[in-house]
Amino acid sequence: MKLFTKYNRINLVATIIIFLFSSAAFYVAIRYILVSQVDDDLRIEQREIETYVKGHNVLPEAISVKDQKIDYHLVSERLKKREFKTVDGFDQEDKEKSSYRVLQFGLNAGDKQYDVTVAKSLEGTDDLADSILLITSTTILLILIVSFLINRFLLRRLWKPFYDALGTVKKFKIDKKQSLNFPSTNIEEFSFMNQILEKATRQAQEDYLLLKEFTENASHEMQTPLAIMRSKLDLLIQGENLSEEQTKTIQSTYQAIEKLARLNQSLLLLAKIENNQFAGTSLVNFKQKIEEKIDSFNELWQNQNIAISQSLKDVSVKMNPELADILLNNLLSNATRHNFSQGSIRIELTDENMKIINSSSQKELDQQRLFSRFYKQPEGKGQNGLGLSIIKQICDVSGFSVCYSFDGKQHFFTISWRN
């Protein structure tokens, strides 16, 4: 719901309620005033009749005019107090129902007692209620129409700079070196917002570049010493007369450097994915990619007698092709490394997901910590524990979800294309 639809809805409901209340109050107040006026008239009439009776000692002739009727009733015991009441009656002239204000009082004329009834039509006040109702409903209708029109034309124009700014921000890509151009506006709030957005996006871009530079520099600073260590070992083993002891030492050093290089590479990769440096996407044909990977892993699997089976649908997924490559490498390396001789690997690809299923001598992995950095299984010696977090990270930035399950024999990694 748009902000203004919401605002309007509340506003309209409140306006209408207030209007109905005030109309009702208006009606009650006006009616009260009119009725007391009629009562005053009736009192005057009473006084006139009493004055007449005092002077002539007979009742005056009961003349009924259009809005006023007077009746005399001979009674044995006259009313002691006068009383006012409103009654419904029938108007002979207009042939319609209308209400009357009635004053009853008792008096003595000659030696007889009479009750006198003076009635005055309240037709005017009934008409008043009708007109108030009419005015109220017309006004409410007018408010609805006007607010609809304002919504439709005025508000859309007023909020245009806001939507323009949103559109501009939507096009913002942090890894593209483009400054955002917000359309100028003379509304203070919007131009203030544009200034802030422009500043924030520029700052984000600068930070991003700095971070990227830092990543690259860190990479360089680590890789060069590693390259030196490796090259020195490559030279050292050329020596003719190395003892077995020395050979062993060199081999352990090789392994340690290998591990360090891999760790560095993995950390840099994670940082790069986090910094969104793999932003470019295209449609990656996963069937084709998987078949290529099966080709290159096949020798390895044959060597370990691992049986591979697959059921691949021709599916293309939108993601960064380099990440797709890394994702498959990591998944298949995992499935191979934790497998055993005579084991099996199965790959399934459908429109919904991709499943890598492998046999393993390992027990179920810890669901909670599986994808966290440096998570290591007790048997996973020699691994840096970043492989699965890289898989998770790639899925996150590509809009996929990854989940793991274990059926007692086999480990399932499922990548769902839709999150």
Partner 1 sequence: MIEDEKELSDSICAYLANEQFICERALDFHSAVEKISLYEYACIILDINLPDGNGLEILRELKKGNKLDGVLIISARNSLDDKVFALKAGADDYLTKPFHLPELSARVAAIIRRKSFEGKTQVSLNELTLDLSEKTVHVNDKPVDLTRKEYELLLYFISNKNKVIAKNAIAEHLWGDNMDLADNYDFIYTHIKNLRKKLIQAGAADYIKSIYGMGYKFNS
The nearest distance, CB 341 to partner 1, in angstroms, is 10
Size of the site for partner 1 (CB under 8 A): 50
Q: Pattern 385-404, binding to partner 1, x per CB under 8 A? A: --x-----------------
The tokens for 304 are 């370990």
Q: Is 197 in the site for partner 1 (CB under 8 A)?
A: no
The nearest distance, CB 292 to partner 1, in angstroms, is 12
51 or 302: CB nearest partner 1: 302
1 or 235: CB nearest partner 1: 235
Q: How far apart are CA 357 and CA 241, in angstroms?
A: 48
For residues 340 and 361, is the Cβ–Cβ distance under 8 A?
A: yes
Amino acid sitting at position 335: A
The nearest distance, CB 361 to partner 1, in angstroms, is 16
Residue of 17, 58, 237, 307 that binds partner 1 (CB under 8 A): 237
The nearest distance, CB 408 to partner 1, in angstroms, is 26
61 or 244: CB nearest partner 1: 244
Q: Is 129 in the site for partner 1 (CB under 8 A)?
A: no
Only one of the segments 59-67, 75-83, 214-222, 364-372 lies at the binding site for partner 1 (rule: CB under 8 A); that segment is: 214-222
Q: Pattern 255-284, binding to partner 1, x per CB under 8 A? A: x-xx--xx--x--x---x----x-------
Q: Is 379 in the site for partner 1 (CB under 8 A)?
A: no
SS3 labels along the chain = CCHHHHHHHHHHHHHHHHHHHHHHHHHHHHHHHHHHHHHHHHHHHHHHHHHHHHHHCCCCCCCCECCEEEEEEEECCCCCCCEEEEEEEEECCCCEEEEEEEEEEEEEECCEEEEEEEEEECHHHHHHHHHHHHHHHHHHHHHHHHHHHHHHHHHHHHCHHHHHHHHHHHCCCCCCCCCCCCCCCCCHHHHHHHHHHHHHHHHHHHHHHHHHHHHHHHHHHHHHHHHHHHHHHHHHCCCCCCCHHHHHHHHHHHHHHHHHHHHHHHHHHHHHHHCCCCCCCEEEEHHHHHHHHHHHHHHHHHHCCCEEEEEECCCEEEECHHHHHHHHHHHHHHHHHCCCCCCEEEEEECCCEEEEEEECCCCCCCCCCCCCCCCCCCCCCCCCCCHHHHHHHHHHHHCCEEEEEECCCEEEEEEECCC
Residue of 333, 353, 377, 405 that binds partner 1 (CB under 8 A): 333
Q: Is 177 in the site for partner 1 (CB under 8 A)?
A: no
Q: How many residues does the chain have?
A: 419
Q: Pattern 298-317, binding to partner 1, x per CB under 8 A? A: -xx--xx-------------
The nearest distance, CB 290 to partner 1, in angstroms, is 15
Residue of 11, 108, 195, 231 that binds partner 1 (CB under 8 A): 231
Q: How far apart are CA 45 and CA 66, in angstroms?
A: 15
Q: How far apart are CA 284 and CA 407, in angstroms?
A: 30
Q: Is 194 in the site for partner 1 (CB under 8 A)?
A: no
89 or 380: CB nearest partner 1: 380
Residue of 202, 232, 318, 369 that binds partner 1 (CB under 8 A): 232
The nearest distance, CB 199 to partner 1, in angstroms, is 29
The nearest distance, CB 206 to partner 1, in angstroms, is 20
Q: Parallel, antiparallel, or unpaired for β 353-359 and 316-319?
A: unpaired
The nearest distance, CB 294 to partner 1, in angstroms, is 13
144 or 227: CB nearest partner 1: 227
Q: Is 2 in the site for partner 1 (CB under 8 A)?
A: no
Q: Is 223 in the site for partner 1 (CB under 8 A)?
A: yes
Chain positions contacting partner 1, by CB under 8 A: 216, 219-220, 222-224, 226-235, 237-238, 242, 244, 247-248, 250-251, 254-255, 257-258, 261-262, 265, 268, 272, 277, 296-297, 299-300, 303-304, 322, 325-326, 329-330, 333, 336-337, 382, 387
